[in-house]
Copies of this chain bind each other. A is one copy, B any other.
Amino acid sequence: MKTVTNAAGRAVITELNGERSIPFKGVGKHKPGGGKYGPPIPSCSDYPPDGNKVVKNLREALEKAGLRDGMTISTHHHFRNGDMLANQVFDLAHEMGVKNLRWFPSASFPCHEHLIRYLEDGTIQRIEGSMNGPLGRFVSEGGMAGTGVLRSHGGRYQAVQDGEVHIDIAVIGAPAADEFGNANGLSGDSACGLLGFALADSQYADQVIVVTDHPVRFPCIPWQIQGNYVDYVVHVEKLGDPSLIISGTTRITRSPDRLLLAELTARFCQSAGIIRDGFSFQSGAGGTSLAVGEYFKKIMKEQGIRARFARGGSNKYLVSMLEEGLVDYILDGQTFDLDGVRSMAENPGHVWTSPFTSYNYHGKGNFANLVDVVILGATEVDLEFNANVVTHSDGYLLHGIGGWQNCLFSRTVILPVPLFRDRVPVIKEEVTTLCGPGELIDVIVTERGIAINPRRTDLIERTKHSGLPIKTIRELKAEADRICGIPDPPELEERVVAAIKWVDGTVIDVVRQVHR
């Protein structure tokens, strides 16, 4: 397998699943050229005059959509680990004897472990999308015939828009949908808030199937997915397990170490002058991130500060900030709990977005650029502030990229990470897999100190008298190494099992098969 060294110094392949792939050229260096993908022009004369696109069942829809060998089938992950639809799609494909499919989910979850059998029997040739948990393990061990491709949420939109990935059939699970195919995520048993991850699929796929367990009469308002892009509508009993789609309770971490990380992060933002009137922030839904949000809230309340907007993943904590008037708007990409869904349905200040709006690098700007501070995670960071979010230090591919790469374009990027996990240091000489270039990562917060990227002289200057434990990243690494020792690098095979795309569609790194 031919490799070249890309601009980040990683040896990457130049051919990916039989097509030429472009090695990463540096941040902002790759100019796309050409035109966006133009999907086939449909005609109303080929659609039911009464607008009723409901067909008998999912199998009939797949048959009418012309499912056949070698096609690309897309699904979305708004149902997270409660999704029951993707498995059904491939059960049917298997039943129909179709082979060699490309599955193009916006993400996969442990509930999709069921699909390993279809990777083994050739129904599915490869997955392009994040492979959380069991599927990642299977791929890491070399089980998948094709090469996996991991893209950020924005990169997925970019790839579809640019025609890099041509979706034959999009299957869109919709918590509410009318007979014309207008759909949203706001009501019904499978309510998940919004359907932004399926937007590109609806706009660009040749054939679009909307599947709902909660049919409503035309017009389904709001139409987060527009029926004008939809070919068939299917009614099913149940799209997913509501308790796994939305967690009824999102909980702030109780771990003293993680609470410390959160507090240090918030204090850093305060000292650096980031938390100021009209600012904006994005913080995830993990326990530490939630705690950061709560510290922000406390500071804002104390100082009478109001944020212009917060980017979601939303949850009850963020919703409370909106409802208490601490933020003007939540610009939300996914809702993590029932308060998020309720708020999005009720509150005009709780706005649904999409990867096009928020993250697409091949747009005329996107919202991620406009966020003052974003709090993200990482599995590993290196001395150049390069970071990894997809593999563990043992080489296993166990996480997706999500919006992580896209968020790196925010004005200040902070990674609160423990100095070590299970006695494995998080700061490495070199990350196992490069997902984000260090030039975009500004601050590493650990329980034993905060390292600021030397490029950010402004942040260094502003926090030098803050009393915060500011250290160099080398000091932090040395401290972890003293405690844990330096672990051996993972034993990896030559074979590339997955490629990591940068936000512009170039290959920033590859994942190699784990030696067993």
Residues on A lying within 8 angstroms of B by beta carbon are: 28-45, 47-51, 53, 161-163, 180-181, 208, 217-219, 221-223, 226-231, 278, 308-309, 329, 331, 348-349, 351, 356-357, 360-367, 369-370, 409, 504
Contact = CB atoms under 8 A, between A and B. Distances in A.
A369 B43 contact: no
A47 B366 CA distance: 9
B308 A43 contact: no
Contacts of A36: 38-41
Given A31-B43, A39-B36, A221 B364 contact: no
Contact of A221 (B217, B222, B349): B349
A34 B43 contact: no
Copies of this chain in its oligomeric complex: 2
Given A35-B41, A44-B364, 8 more contacts: A36-B39, A41-B162, A43-B504, A44-B365, A44-B366, A219-B309, A221-B349, A227-B364
15 contacts: A28-B43, A29-B45, A31-B43, A32-B41, A36-B40, A38-B38, A41-B162, A44-B361, A44-B409, A48-B365, A219-B351, A221-B329, A222-B351, A228-B363, A229-B363
A51 B365 contact: yes
A27 to B, nearest CB: 8
Contacts of A48: 365
Contacts of A41: 32-36, 161-162, 362
Contacts of A367: 51, 180, 219
Contacts of A51: 365, 367, 369-370
- With a 10 A CB-CB cut-off, give which of A230, A357, A365 has the most chain B CB atoms: A365
Contacts of A370: 50-51, 180, 218
A363 B208 CA distance: 12
A30 B30 CA distance: 41
A387 to B, nearest CB: 20
Contacts of A33: 41
Contacts of A221: 329, 348-349, 351
A364 B41 CA distance: 9
Contact of A42 (B37, B231, B363): B363
B356 A228 contact: yes
A241 B117 CA distance: 66
Closest 6 CB pairs of A and B: A35-B38, A28-B45, A36-B38, A38-B38, A32-B41, A47-B365
B364 A42 contact: yes
B32 A43 contact: yes
A160 to B, nearest CB: 12
Contacts of A47: 364-365
Contacts of A366: 44, 228
A351 to B, nearest CB: 6
B35 A40 contact: yes
A226 B357 contact: yes
A25 B360 CA distance: 41
B362 A44 contact: yes
A231 to B, nearest CB: 6
A37 B34 contact: no
Contacts of A278: 217
Nearest to A358: B228
